[in-house]
Amino acid sequence: MPVDNKIKIAIVDNHDLFRKGMISLLQIFHLDVHWEYENGHDFISNIDKNHLPNFVLIDLKTLEMDNYETTVWLRKNYPSVNALILCMDINEFEIKRIIENGAKGYIFKDAEPAEIKSAIMSVIENGHYYPGKQSSFVYKTSR
């Protein structure tokens, strides 16, 4: 966590309406979104090493770039930044892959709104967030 205990968030998602809605939702929970990007390429090109987010919410599938690559790049270059994957659906192979690539978990885009805050807090407190029993199994077997 940063010295001022503020959670600074970046969002990478190619759907403008979703990004704007997520920003509004996170503000309700007193979480600050400082950056928003349409894809991983924009995120990587614009990240400022002197002003890093604590969390990046990354859409698993954007048009411009495979966000598995974005997660690997983030882990390699800024391992202290937590990546949480946003997805509509995900299978065991994809869960294992995001974990191996450095993501701290994932959250479904159709989850209840309060779950996003729970997911972020879980990463802070436990180091990961994986909804459902199946995901816990994949998390344990990939470590």
Task: Encode pLDDT of 3-34 as tens digits.
Answer: 446 889 999 999 999 999 999 999 999 998 99
Question: Cβ neighbours of residue 61 under 8 Å, at least 6 residues apart?
Answer: 67, 87
- Beta-carbon neighbour count of residue 61 at 10 Å? 15
- The residue to which tokens 């199994």 are assigned: 137
pLDDT: is 76 or 140 the higher one?
A: 76
Percent of the chain with pLDDT over 70: 85
Q: Residue 54: what are its φ and ψ, rounded to 5°? A: -85, -30
Percent of the chain with pLDDT over 90: 56
